[in-house]
Amino acid sequence: MVAMIISSPMDPSLYSVRMRASSHGQHLTGAERIVPAAAASEVAAALTQRAMLCAGGPATEVHCSLEWIDPARLCNARLPDISTYQVDTWREGRQAASCLLVRAGVPVDVARQAVNALAEGAGPGGRVMRGAMIVDAATGERLESDPARGVRASRMDLSAELRPQLERTLAAAGLAHPRVLEALVLAGKVLQAPGMVAELCWSDDPAYSTGYVADPRSGYQRITALKPDGDWRGGRVFFVDTKMASLTALVDYLECQAVLFNAAGAISPPVKWIAADE
């Protein structure tokens, strides 16, 4: 059920609107926004409708929540720069991902182990996790307390001014797929986390094989194939420097800190991935 928020169009309050849907206990879809009070009810209705029309449905449970954001705790930020590496095969893509992770400061064995974990299904019994793995970037140790749930980055969005502008810019760069924008916003928040070294991600959507490696220096680096078509396995790995931040502080930031992006990064044209001897 979607609560109606009555507010004046001049009300400057922001709300976090979050939706998650499941089918017979299995996670189906989720989405979230941070929007002005005046738009909160409409956005909640749109996210609920998205859950009801989700391809893997029917949804048997849909949760939609609206939460006021304390303006004193809101962070404003700039999105990472975007680059795209074109690869010929998903195997080449996985080598590129390992290489980019090494450039970000992840030891090669830790990078390869994480790529293999996503490839094989990182959850118990080889299932896809609901959230991300957290990996100690120095040792490869997995740190998330629940290996089925992992950690979910939440409470981030584009400002009302930036959203239409970025949608136009992404479309002009051939990046109109909504997954790009959603993943970019999530990576933008993750990269600002205390102690974050890098993120690796590819989708669990069998029809979407592009993924990315993001790190604070190089930004959001897309790789055009990271898995075979039709593969349902995917997910996210957050590589962290445990000397820089406690796990509690990191998870609290990822799950609770509201971040609103009000500036875009640069978008570079796609380039062919050239493997270097590293």
Binding footprint of ligand PML on the chain (CB under 6 A): 179-180, 183, 201, 203, 205, 208, 210-212, 222
Query: Token match 């997954």: residue?
Result: 179
Element (H, E) at 278: none
| Rounded least distance, CB 120 to ligand PML, Å | 18
Q: Which is nearer to ligand PML, 28 or 37 (CB)?
A: 28
Q: What is the DSSP string of 188-236?
A: HHHHTSTTEEEEEEE-S-TT---EEEEETTTEEEEES-SS-TT----EE
Give rounded-to-5 percent helix, strand, coil for the chain. Answer: 30, 30, 40
Distance, CA of 17 to CA of 7 (rounded, Å): 15
Q: Which is nearer to ligand PML, 9 or 269 (CB)?
A: 269
Residue nearest to ligand PML (CB): 203
**Is 32 exposed, middle or buried, given 0-12, 13-18 or 19+ CB atoms closer than 10 A?**
buried
| Rounded least distance, CB 180 to ligand PML, Å | 4
Q: Which is nearer to ligand PML, 41 or 210 (CB)?
A: 210
Q: Which is nearer to ligand PML, 48 or 209 (CB)?
A: 209
| Rounded least distance, CB 118 to ligand PML, Å | 11
Contact 182, 154 (CB under 8 A): no
| Rounded least distance, CB 275 to ligand PML, Å | 21
| Rounded least distance, CB 183 to ligand PML, Å | 4
Q: Which is nearer to ligand PML, 136 or 182 (CB)?
A: 182
For the sheet with 196-202, list strands across it: 133-136, 235-240, 196-202, 211-215, 219-223, 82-86, 271-272
Query: Token match 């309050």: residue?
Result: 13
Distance, CA of 236 to CA of 118 (rounded, Å): 8
| Rounded least distance, CB 139 to ligand PML, Å | 26
Q: Which is nearer to ligand PML, 48 or 203 (CB)?
A: 203
Distance, CA of 231 to CA of 10 (rounded, Å): 47
Q: Which is nearer to ligand PML, 69 or 208 (CB)?
A: 208
| Rounded least distance, CB 25 to ligand PML, Å | 21
Distance, CA of 29 to CA of 20 (rounded, Å): 6
